[in-house]
Each structure stands twice: as C-alpha cells, then as structure tokens.
Amino acid sequence: MNFQTRFKFTIEDESTLENKLQVSAPILRWSLIGVAAIIVFMALGAIVIFLSPMRSHLPGYLKESERTATQEQLMRLDSLQMILFNNERYLENLSQVLNPSLKTRDSIPSAPASSDSLFPLSAEESRFVSLIREREKYNVAVIAPLAAESMMFNPVNDECVITAATKRDNKAEIILPKGSSISAIADGRVISVSQSIREGGGSAVIIQHPKGFLSRYSRLGSVIVEAGDEVAGGQIIAIQNVGNARKEERIFVELWHNGSPLAPYDYIGDSPYHTYHAQDDKL
C-alpha cells in the first residue's frame, strides 16, 4: 500500500472552534498551486505597470516617438561630428598655407573614403576626379592666401577654358563660345584701352588691380569700358563679335604682380561651369 504525504490547510474560528475552510492536498498539488499563484500575480503586476504611468519609470523604456527623436538626434550628432572634422582639417590646411613653418597634427586620421560603386572608375570618371582634386589644390594653394589678403579673382567667362598648352604660360590663351562677354578678373581701374596690331588684331585692355596686380586682355571685340573707369571683379568689359565665321572665340590674358609675370591659370583657372570634352586636351 502506497502512503502519500498530504498537507492540510484549515481556517478555524477560534471563538467557536468551528472550521470555516479546510483544504487537503498532496505536496505536489500544493507546489503547482503555488507556482500558478506566482504566475498570476506576476501577470497582474505586468498588466498594472504597462497600463499605468508607472511604465515610464522602467529602465530602458522609451515611447515610440521618443525613440524616433533619439535616433534622429544621434544621426544629427554624427553629421555634426563629420562637419567638425572637415572644418578642422580645412583650418589646419589653411594655417599650413599661410604659415609653412607651422607643424600640423599628423596624428589626425584621414576621413574614411566611401565608394558609391563596386565597379572600377571609367576613364571619364577618373578624369573628373582628377579635375576636382586639382581644383581643391588650387583653392588651398591660391584662393586661400588671396582671400586672407581680401584679393579674389574670377574667370573671364562662365564657359571659358584655358588651352592646355598655355596653362603654365604668362600669356594664357582662353577659348570662349562665339559672342561671349569678357569680364574683369578682379576689382581695379582701367588704365589703357587700345587697338592691338599683333595677336590677330582686336582691342586690348589693361587693368590695374590692388596688391600690385596688373592684368592685360587682348584680341577683344567691342570694348565697353574706357581708361579711368573703376571696374569690379566679374564686370563685363568687352563683348566678342558674332559676325565672324569662327565657331569659337580665342582671347589672351596676361597677369603680373609687382612687375613679375604670373601664370593666369594659377589664379583664374577654368570656369567651374565648363564641361570637359575629350577634344579639350588637343587645344
């Protein structure tokens, strides 16, 4: 015969010694009842917490709107950190240009390069990247020092391009669309307007700029300024004739600083709006 241990739960009225409630069950059943009671109490507690304001005091709890706002702020913080990094590098490069003896912080890592494509760059894409790098070098080496001295230069036209053969020359040959206008490359005063017999004819204009700069434009069409006029950088000084049979215009620009000849390309470059074509390398 198997004897099973049983436990009895009794509620008794002490004044009358009357049993009000009496429950008898084996220990296994009492264990199951206890576990069930704990689960019920935990479920009720969770329901009360999540359906009341108490849930906001739970660690790690965020509303959906708060979570979205937090993610947006984290993304904005990442963007600000990248902008701060780029600005610090730009200021360091500028300081190095203005003061070559200044030591830079070589410990600063370069910004990680990102690639938009898994395919190798085409010839045109490589050419474009090269042009952008040259433009950045030009901005740091030439524009930054001149900006520090309040001296800025502009291309003579929004669609101009300097021939490859004259980019390093003091006398730059510039190609323009037919009927283009010619602008002063910087603020200054017109000191001479004349007819040029050499260089294929046309008119010539000389402008004196601040900081000891002097520029000369030749092979011009119709000049619309006179000697003694004050001009601003980018102001039109001549308009090329449209009646000739040429498909394009070619003018010459020369530049000096305190009497020393300079390569105009180093100061005015090509127009940022000029579209590169393969035939430009043959100019």
pLDDT tens for the chain, 283 residues long, are 455 666 676 777 777 777 777 777 677 776 787 888 899 888 888 787 777 666 666 666 666 677 778 778 887 887 788 888 888 888 887 777 777 666 655 444 444 444 444 556 677 777 777 777 776 666 655 555 555 455 778 888 888 889 989 988 989 999 888 888 999 999 999 999 998 777 677 899 999 998 889 999 999 989 999 999 999 998 999 998 766 656 678 899 999 988 888 889 888 877 654 443 334 444 3
Helix (H, G, I), strand (E, B) or coil at 103: coil
Task: Tell whether the torsion through CA atoms of 64, 67, 71 and 73 is positive or negative.
Answer: positive
Q: Would the pTM count as exceeding 0.75?
A: no
Torsion of CA 76, 82, 86, 92, to 10 degrees: 110
Do residues 49 and 55 lie in contact, with contact meaning Cβ atoms separated by under 8 Å?
A: yes
209 Cβ contact partners less than 8 Å away, ≥ 6 residues apart: 151, 186, 187, 188, 215
What whole-number distance in Å separates Cα of residue 46 and Cα of residue 21? 31
HSE, CB side, 13 Å, CA atoms: give it for residue 43. 6
Token output for 95: 């300081």
What whole-number distance in Å separates Cα of residue 250 and Cα of residue 154? 18
What is the per-residue pLDDT across 163-207, written as a single tens digit (0 to 9) for each?
989 988 989 999 888 888 999 999 999 999 998 777 677 899 999
Angle at 158 between CA 152 and CA 160, to 5 degrees: 95
Token output for 279: 């035939």
User: What local confidence, expressed as pLDDT, does residue 49 receive?
Assistant: 72
